[in-house]
Structures are given as C-alpha cells and as structure tokens.
Chains A and B, each alone.
Chain A
Amino acid sequence: MNKSGLIEQERYTCAIGALQTVVAIPRAVPVLHSGPGCGEMIAGFFERSTGYAGGSTSPCTNFSEKEVVFGGIDRLRQIIENTYKVLDTDLQVVLTGCTAGIVGDDAGSLTEEFRAQGKPIVSVETPGFMCNNFEAHSLVVNAIVGQYADGFGNEPRSKDNTVNLLASVPYQDPFWKGNLVEYKRLLAGIGLEANILFGPFSGGVAEWRTIPSANFNILVSPWYGKPIADNLEQKYGQPYFWYRHIPVGANQTEEFLRGVLTFSLENGAQIDEPAARAFIKRESEAYYEEIDNLATFLLEFRYGLPNHVHILHDAGYVLGLSKFLLHETGIIPKEQFVTDNTPPEFQDELRRYLAAASAKREIPLYFEPDAGAAQEIIRKLSHAGRGLIIGSGWDKELAIEKNYDYLSAALPTPYRLVMTANYAGFTGGLRIIEDIYNSVLATYR
C-alpha cells in the first residue's frame, strides 16, 4: 500500500456494508443508526441486492445535525418501535454508522430493552472507520449468535452429523448464493447436514437457533470469518475444519471433501464412509466427462485462446482460481492481486498455499487493497500471448487498454448479473470454464 493509505477503485466497502449479511438472512431486517447516505452507498456498491428488506426498505435514523449534537438514541427508539408496526420481520439487527460511533450512542443498551420484551433484536457496532465489511461480517454473525441464537437452550454439539458452514461473505462474494447451495449439496452427498445460514435454501432464523447443536464447523476462507469459527469453538466447544480458499474444480473439491470426511470421522459423525467416497468419485467422473470433451477445444482451437491470467479478487478467489486455471484449463496464472486488505498476519501463510500450487513455477502474489496501484503494475507488465483479466467492473477498462480478454467476477461490477451461479465445487469449475471461453468466443464475430 502507498504511504498515504489511500485506496483507488474500492473492491470492498466499510463496516456498515455488513448490513448485507443481515439482508442475506431470510426475513431479517437491518436497521441503520447512521447518516442518511450510508444505506445508499452500500446499495450502490452491491447493486441488485435488496433482498427482503434491504436497500430503500431498511429503516434508518438518518442522522442530521440535531442527532450529531444531542445524540440519536431517542430517534433510534422511535424508529425501532415503528419498525415493528410497519415491517413484518423475523429478526432485527441494528447497525451503527460513523456518526453514531463518534457521538457515542449506546445502541446496545437500547436493543437490550427491546430484547427484554421478547423481541428478536440484535445490535452491532459497525462505524465505517472501524474496519471493512469483510471483517464486520464476523462482527454481525457473532452478534446474532450471542444476542439471539444463543438464547434457545439448544445443547451444544448434540447433532453428530450437523455442521455450520462458514464460507462466503454474502453479496461481497457475488456467487454466494450458488456457492452455499453447492456446498450444501456436496456435504449432503458425504452424509452431513449443513446449516448454510444465508439465502433462500437456508432455514432462516430457525436454522440460526440450531447453530449451537452442530457437531463442528467448516470454515472455507483465507482469513475473514475466522473470528466466527473461533467464537463458536470457544462458546460451544465446536472444533472447525479450515479450508483456505474456495474449492474450484475437481482437484480442490476432492481435497476439500476428503478433508471434511476425515475431520467428520475424527469428530464422531455417523458417516457411511464407502458411500461418501463413492459420491466423491461419481462427482469427479461426471466432471471429467466434460473436461474430456473440452480438451479437444482447448488444444485444437486455432484462432486464439488466452494463455495467461491476472486475477484481482479476494484471497479466497485468487488462490482457488489460480490453482484451478493452472491445472484444469492450462491458463497460466501470472501476477495475482489480492484486494481484500488481508491482515498481515495471514499473508505469509497464503503465499505458501499459492506456492504449493506448482513445483515448476513461482506465481507472484501482491496484497494490494489500493487496486488502482495494482492496475498500474499490470499496465507495465508484458507477457507473450493472449491475456485474460478476472476482476471487478473497474478492470474492464484495463482489459480494453491491454487488449486482454475480461471476465467480471468480483465486486463491484455493473458489467455482469449474477443470480444463482456458483464457482465453488465441481460444477463451479465447469461454470468458470463456460464463462471464460464464452466471453472469448464472443469476441469472434
């Protein structure tokens, strides 16, 4: 990062952006105790992400001079009371912004009052200056666990074959919905029932109440979300299986599932191991049937295909996609850029994970939240052959400048719609292949 700490071309947003974590829970509502523009900024960053009661539906105290001077707690009380009259919701999560944080409003005490009346309400401090939304996601989840899910008397680790899956940061991962469904399907295939907690195929707040009962947790993440796994381990004694990146394609998905399988058996899950291994094998065979068909195209298409790639994404995607593209499509990962502001203590380990991708080559890896600076590096690079850039909407112009192929796969992006597509798993690998080569083929007119 540059000396001044400035960031060009934001690829993430601030702490209050974790209101999308609430939006991702069916029938939950974020209540903003913040300035009037915070909701608009977040809605504009994520785009097409209103869900049940996000975006223009979310209640907000819309701080004015008056609240800055006199405090806004009375206003927040009024907004919460009327939220119950106007909106029909199962869970209310109050998120505070910079204004509330600086003037020192105590939203926590206020929501406790409502909770004492039996309301399912949670509060969490998310002033934008505190951290980014990757980190605040954990704050929100832990607040809901502590202030809501914890209170239903479910015995910790009472369900041997149930796991809590901690994977995507909803909406920040554009493929979160599809990914969670694919994880759920794959884990069911080896005999585990997964609480995925977010999206239409989760069980809503009822599923959140069963979090303590899960036998163990699965964390699929380079670094974010780890405080959730740590919290649950400490709170309920649930150990966790940690896979460092999104598993894409066959090699990684098999490694992921075998790892989970071993961990499950070690932790007393009741698993039919041969059936689980047969499931993995069948999935893999179906995958390679497609790769077989594809190989001819990859090897024989004589009009030009990309031979190298730069990825600008969060660490989980940079690692997962780099390894996948190298081994399963033959596209060589050149300089890679992690734009998620990975804390320094995780960086060395992630470098080792990427280095392990190949004994033959070194893949240069940059941790650079100032994506404008990352683009300056790419501008000056020159590799032989046809290049591909996988990144956010910001990178489309760079790809045009360099005459590279381009795949929009990171936020923010006005250039692509993602609904339920998944990049995780066997099917995720096939989907990326379709996306890359369809965009390449679309250049032939």
Chain B
Amino acid sequence: MPKTNLAYPSVQIRETRINSITGYQGTARGLVSASQCGLRDKSRGFSQCVGCATSKAACMTVLIQDAAVISHGPVGCSSCLHEFAFTYRVNACLRDVPNPTQRRIFSTNLTERDTVYGGAAKLAAAVREVKERVNPNAIFVLTTCAAGIIGDDTENVCDEAEEELGIPVVAIYCEGFRSTVWTTGFDAAYHGIARKLIKPAREHRPDVINVINFWGSDIFKEWFAPFGARPNYITPYATVAALERSSEAAATVQACSTLGSYLGAVLEQDFGVPEIPAAPPYGVAQTDRWFRALGKLLGKEDTAEALIAEKKDKYLPKIAEVRGKLKGKRAYVTAGAAHGHALLDVLGELGMEAVGAAVFHHDPFYDSGRAENDQLAQRVCDYGDVPNFNICNKQEFELVNALNKLRPDVLLARHGGMTLWGAKLGIPALLIGDEHYSMGYEGLVNYGGRLIEAIENDEFVKNLEKHAVNPYTKWWLAQDPYTFLQGTERRLRAERRLRTERCQQGGQCAGGLGAGG
C-alpha cells in the first residue's frame, strides 16, 4: 500500500506514488490486467495543450467558503480561476449556501525582476495584504512553474505568516511541470489541507460521513438520512471549521476516486477515518455493493438492505424502460479517469455498446491500495470489455481521429472542449457537469433520459457537421489514431504486495466483486 507522508511539505506526484500513466491503447481488460501485473507508460511524438495541477488545486481551495487563495506566480497562472468564482455562485443553491460570497483570488504577479531576485518577499507582503483586505479564516498559496524553478522558499514564508497572523497559511505545491498527471493538483491541495487544517479528532461523530466531491447536487443528504447520518462535503462549499473536523467523521466516501484517492487514504491512515471499501456507486451492481459496504462500515447492514430494496423497487422498472430505448446504441466516452469508468458503468447498465474511450490518465491502483476500489476492473467484470480503450490526456488529435473512424451514436464527455468534436462530426454529444447526476439507481434514470434526448435531438449537430471547419490534415485522419503513441516507454514500478495478490487473480473477476457478464 502506498504511504501518505504529511511530514513533507509537498505531495509525491502520482507517477511515482501510484504509478499513474497518460499513454496507453488497447482494451480495458488489457489495461486492468497490466495494471495488476506491471504497466508501461508511453509518450507521444505530438502533443497538444493539456492542463496542469494548478487549476485542480485551485478548484479544491477557491470554493472553500471562508478562505482566500493566492497564486504565487505571474498573472497568467491564475487567469482561468474566475470560472470557479462563477461555479461557486451558480451552484451555491444546490448546496444550501443561500448567500454565496465573492471569491477572493489573488496573484503575486511575479515579473522578470522577481525571477532574478526571488519572489519570496513579494509573497510575504501579499499574504499580509490579503489578511488585511479579506480577513479570511485560511489563506492558500498555490505555487507555479516560475516560483518553483526560481526556488522561492514558499514554505518558510507561509509558516512565518501563519505564526504572525494566527490563521492557517497553507502552501500548496502544484507547479505544472512537476507531474504529467494534472490530477496531482487535487492531491497537492488535499496534502496541504491535511497538514495545516485538519485537526486530530476531539470526538467521534457517528452521524457525519465525509464526502469528497466537486460541486454536484446534494444527493448524499437524502442517501445518508436512513443511516442517521449527514454528509460533510469536502472541500467545495465547506467552511474551514468543518474541514478541521473532518477527522471526526464515521467514514469517508468519494464521488470520484481520481479526485479523492489521496485524501481518502490520508483520512484513514493519518486520522483514523475509514474509507468505504467500494468504488463509487455508478450502475446497479456497483450501487448495490456501495450501499452494502456503507451499511457494514456503519454497522447498519439491515438499513442498507432495506434501502437497496426500496430504491430498486422504485427505480428498476424505470431503468428497464430507459434501457429499452437505448439498448444497442453505440457510445464513446472521454473523461477524467474514474469518472470515465463511471460513465462506462452507466452505459453498460443501460445496455449500450461502449465502442471506445479516451480516458485522461490511468491510476493502476488508488492510494487505499484496495482492489475493491478499482472501478475499471469492476466495469469489465460487470459489463464486459471495452475495445479501443485509449489513455489520452486530452489529446484532441487522437480523439478526432478515433471518433471519425468509430462514428458512435453518441459521445459522452466530462471536460470542456471535447464535445465540440463530436458535434463537428455530426455525433450528438453530452456533457453533464454534476458528477452526482448519474449516481445510484436514480442516476441511471436521470442520465438515461438525457442520453435519449441527446440522441433524439440531433438536428443541431447534423447541421453543424455540414459546415464545420476542420484544421486536421487528410493525412492525419487517414492514419491509425495512435500513430504518435509509440515514444519512449516508462517502465513503472508495480507495487509489490499488490502485484502479487492481484496477479494471482489473473485479472479475472474476483470473489467479492460480484458475478459479471
């Protein structure tokens, strides 16, 4: 099992911590098997703009109700963060925040002179200015490539300011060049939060369950109520005080294992809060497992069984109805790792054919080290293999090429910029921002409804296809989509204990994962 280490200021990047990769092509089954028995990463001879850890660290700090965020870098390194201010405002109503306050986002505005003489003094002054202007309950400092390379001692500046100002001043190390896996930014934010905000438990609160998520709708309130519990959402819309007490919860669950892998493990290993031993509840089979695991963790197995029975009674007929309309439709998925797997679960459950996927990276295992959290392995067991499975960090040129050849009935996306290419090729595309929308039994009905609507209402994309401008060459569109994915391979260290145990399972559906089709 990988170890968390809160003694170090910065988190170990995903490539070295959990062997994450950004280049693969083959089948989902092949990837699951390789993940368990040793995996190689591949680089590309051509690449397009990807994204970096900074904005991922930002979205886990900017949306904390009463904190301020300083980007320590040139002004450009925080210039997309206004989007999170918008998110905070418009989604507040979903999360019981009736009066969303203005987000306070700053840049130290590093200039050429600072790259020569250092930016530490500027940061120190900025932290004090922010305290005076905003009076926040915590200040987060996000590092950037420039600050990292010139070697500013951010840790020291933050520690000194914290002592002087009497509020947590949390350095978060999320320089873009450090990791090829941008979700390292989530880990970086959580690492800082765990080091500086979360306090050792003063009491045990059996009625509180941590939910690591984005800014989706508040479905967990209803789900936890029968168990006599309520959600403590981490970190968007949380207060600093609520985060401090995350250590007192009865359990931790996640909306997306890509997001919460590290924090879930930290809460368990360093603060004693058990993480649910089940991948997030997407698809009927996994939702069954998830509620059972939750019931077991809380010592309320009967409640879980009753809830499962009640919900299935209500939703299975509706799911069957949706399945009838979608059965046999061909779909392609592009999304961040675990949520991509979740969408593939949903497709499988709705009887659709997953003709391929471009998933942004792959974590061969999560920080918990538990096989039960491996959502892709379970997808393959529950619903079968997925061909044309590509690990592709938003490389649009590969996506366009693959879509052009596969011509699915619908494209499911989770990140901005990707749906356009479905539409340009005349393929209906669906992006749902709310990560909770397709969760649970009811999620299949919700999401299925939107899929039916997207496939049915294709006049817009059919018209766009006729007029779409395409910058890709004919040569490229005639090549194999993975032509450039043959660069140097990075042999990864497979975690030994895990490898032994899981290789013995031979990549097959294991006991406890449930029977699969």
Near A by CB (< 8 A), chain B positions 39-61 give 45-55
A397-B89 contact given A52-B471, A63-B145, CB 8 Å threshold: yes
Q: Which of B423-477 contact A (CB under 8 A)?
A: 469, 471-473, 475-476
Q: How far is the CA of A212 from the CA of B484 in the complex (A)?
A: 40
A62 to B183, CA, bound (A): 15
Q: A32 CB to closest chain B CB, in angstroms? A: 6
Is B473's CB under 8 angstroms from A4's CB? no
Tell whether A6 pairs with B109 under 8 Å between CB atoms, given A50-B417, A86-B46, A99-B145: yes
Q: Taking the complex as formed, is B150 at the interface, i.e. its CB lies under 8 A from any CB of chain A?
A: yes
A1 to chain B, nearest CB (A): 9
| Complex CA distance for A32 and B50, rounded to whole angstroms | 11
* Among B79, B86, B128, B146, contact of A42 (Cβ-Cβ < 8 Å): B79
Quick one: given A4-B129, A88-B472, A397-B89, are A44 and B106 in contact (CB under 8 Å)? no
Asked whether any CB of chain A lies closer than 8 Å to the CB of B246, the reply is no
- In contact, A10 and B82 (Cβ under 8 angstroms): yes
Cα A52 to Cα B133 in complex, Å, equals 42
Q: Are A14 and B418 in contact (CB under 8 A)?
A: no
> Looking across the interface, which residue of chain B has its beta carbon closest to that of A5?
B109
Let me know if A412 is at the binding interface, CB within 8 A: yes
Q: Is A41 an interface residue (CB 8 A)?
A: yes
Which one, A36, A129, A373, contacts B49 given CB within 8 A?
A36
Q: Annotate A1-14 by CB proximity to B: 1 below 8 A, 0 otherwise.
A: 01111111110111
Q: Could you say which of B76, B86, B107, B126 contacts A38, with CB atoms under 8 Å apart?
A: B76
Interface residue stretch chosen among B174-182, B305-313, B323-331:
B174-182
Bound Cα distance A32, B122 (Å): 28
Of the listed stretches B67-75, B189-197, B272-280, name the one at the interface; the rest are far from the partner chain: B67-75
Residues from chain A with Cβ under 8 Å of B320 in the complex:
none
B145 engages A414 (CB within 8 Å) = no
Known contacts A57-B471, A88-B471; decide if A62 and B75 are in contact (CB<8 Å): no
Partner of B177, one of A36, A52, A414: A36
A415 CA to B45 CA, complexed, in Å: 39
Which residues from chain B contact A58 at a C-beta distance below 8 Å? 48-49
Partner of A37, one of B48, B126, B176, B473: B176
Task: Check: B162 CB closer than 8 A to any chain A CB.
Answer: no
- Residues of B within 8 Å of A16, CB to CB, are 76
Q: Assuming the A-B contacts A7-B109, A60-B50, are A414 and B80 also in contact, with contact meaning beta carbons closer than 8 angstroms in the complex?
A: no
B129 & A38 in contact (Cβ 8 Å cutoff) = no
A15: nearest chain-B partner, CB-CB: B76
Q: Is B108 an interface residue, CB under 8 A from the partner?
A: yes
Q: Contacts A6-B108, A102-B146 hold; do A62 and B418 have CB atoms under 8 A apart?
A: no
Is B108 within 8 A of A60, CB to CB?
Answer: no
Residue contact B177 to A4, C-beta cutoff 8 Å:
no
A56 touches B394 (CB 8 A): yes
Question: Residues of A contacting B76 with CB < 8 Å?
Answer: 13-17, 38, 41-42, 45, 128, 133
Docked pose: A45 CA to B105 CA in angstroms = 14
A6-B126 contact given A37-B182, A64-B177, A82-B484, CB 8 Å threshold:
yes
B83 at interface, CB cutoff 8 A? yes
Of chain A, the residue at the smallest CB distance from B102 is A397
B53 / chain A contacts, CB cutoff of 8 Å: 37
Bound together, the chains give a CA A12 to CA B109 distance in angstroms of 11
A residues 4-52 touching B (CB-CB < 8 Å): 4-10, 12-17, 27, 29, 32, 35-45, 47, 50, 52
Q: Is the interface of A mostly helix, strand, loop or mixed?
A: mixed
Contact check: which of A41, A47, A56, A86 meets B77 at CB < 8 Å? A41
Which residues of B in the span 335-359 have a Cβ within 8 Å of any Cβ on A?
none
Beyond A132-B75, A412-B82, whether A56 also contacts B48 by CB under 8 A is yes
Bound-state Cα–Cα, A245 to B146, Å: 34
Q: Which residues of B contact A414 (CB under 8 A)?
A: 82-83, 86
The answer for the CA separation of A348 and B49 in the assembled complex, in Å, is 41
Given contacts A15-B76, A98-B145, contact A86 B397 (CB under 8 A): yes
- Beta-carbon contacts under 8 Å, B138-154 to A: 144-146, 149-150
How many whole Å from A292's CB to the nearest CB in chain B?
Answer: 40
Q: Does B225 contact A (CB under 8 A)?
A: no
Closest chain B CB from A86 CB (angstroms): 5
A97 and B77 CA atoms in complex are apart in Å by 11
**Chain B nearest Cβ from A235, distance in angstroms:** 26
The CA of A10 and the CA of B473, in the complex, are separated in Å by 37
A222 within 8 A of B: no
Q: Measured between C-beta atoms, what is the minimum distance from A365 to chain B in Å?
A: 22
Interface residue? B505 (CB, 8 A): no
Chain B residues in 8 Å Cβ range of A394: 82, 85
Taking the closest CB of chain B, its distance from the CB of A306, in whole angstroms, is: 22
Q: Are B77 and A55 in contact (CB under 8 A)?
A: no
A89-B471, A129-B74 given; A37·B107 CB < 8 A: no
Name the A residues within 8 Å of B51 (CB-CB): 36-37, 39-40
Which residue from B55, B79, B177 sits with its C-beta under 8 Å from A63? B177
Say yes or no: is A68 at the interface (Cβ < 8 Å to chain B): yes
Q: Which residues of A lie under 8 Å from residue B396 when comparing CB positions? A: 56-57
Q: Which residues of B contact A62 (CB under 8 A)?
A: 47, 49-50, 180
- Residues of the A chain whose Cβ atoms lie less than 8 Å from the Cβ of B81: 44
Number of interface residues of B (CB under 8 A): 69
Known: A14-B75, A14-B76, A68-B149. A40 touches B475 (CB 8 A): no
Stretch at the interface among B111-119, B284-292, B491-499: B111-119
In the complex, what distance in Å separates the CA atom of A398 from the CA atom of B70? 21
Contact among A43, A68, A82 for B417, CB-based, below 8 A: A43
- Chain A residues, CB < 8 A from B177: 35-36, 63-65, 67-68, 99
Distance A63 CA – B114 CA, assembled complex (angstroms): 21
Q: Which residues in window 265-283 of A have CB below 8 A to B?
A: none
Q: Would you call A52 and B469 a contact (CB within 8 A)?
A: yes
Partner of A83 from the list B46, B105, B114, B180 (CB cut-off 8 Å) is B46
A6, B47: Cβ atoms closer than 8 Å: no
A389 to B187, CA, bound (A): 39
Provide the residues of chain B in CB contact with A170, threshold 8 Å.
none
Q: Which chain B residues border A55 with CB–CB below 8 Å?
A: 49, 417
A89 to B122, CA, bound (A): 42
Neighbouring B residues of A88 by C-beta, 8 Å: 471-473
Which of the listed residues A37, A133, A372 has the most CB atoms from chain B within 10 Å of its own CB? A37
Question: CB distance A82 to B46 under 8 Å?
Answer: yes
Q: Which of chain B's residues has its CB closest to A102's CB?
A: B149
In the assembled complex, the CB of B247 is this many whole angstroms from the nearest CB of chain A, namely: 32
Q: Which residues of B contact A86 (CB under 8 A)?
A: 46, 397, 472-473, 476
- Asked if B80 and A3 sit within 8 Å, CB to CB, the answer is no
CA distance A271 to B114 in the complex (A): 52
Closest to B113 in A: A129
Expressed in whole angstroms, the Cα–Cα distance for A78 and B47 within the complex equals: 10
In the complex, what residues of B have CB within 8 A of residue A68's CB? 145, 149, 177
Check A5 against B108 for contact (C-beta < 8 Å). yes
Q: Is the beta-carbon distance between A36 and B180 smaller than 8 angstroms? A: yes
**Contact residue among A7, A43, A45, A63 (Cβ-Cβ distance under 8 Å from B176):** A63
A419 is an interface residue with CB less than 8 A from chain B:
no
Q: Which of B48, B108, B144 has the most CB of A within 10 A?
A: B48
| Given A56-B394, A88-B471, A128-B146: A78 and B77 interface contact (C-beta under 8 Å) | no
| A79 lies within 8 A of chain B by Cβ | yes
Q: Is the CB of A372 within 8 A of B80?
A: no
Across the A-B interface, the 8 shortest Cβ-Cβ residue pairs: A44-B80, A37-B52, A39-B49, A14-B76, A4-B125, A128-B74, A82-B46, A45-B79
18 contacts between A and B (CB under 8 A): A6-B130, A10-B78, A12-B75, A37-B52, A41-B54, A41-B78, A41-B80, A47-B83, A50-B417, A57-B48, A59-B47, A61-B47, A68-B177, A99-B146, A128-B74, A129-B114, A130-B111, A412-B79
A→B interface (CB under 8 Å): 2-10, 12-17, 27, 29, 32, 35-45, 47, 50, 52-53, 55-65, 67-68, 78-79, 82-83, 85-89, 97-99, 102-103, 127-130, 132-133, 372-373, 376, 393-394, 397-398, 412, 414-415
Interface contacts beyond A41-B80, A62-B47: sample of 4 additional A-B pairs, CB < 8 Å, sorted by A: A35-B176, A41-B55, A88-B472, A129-B112
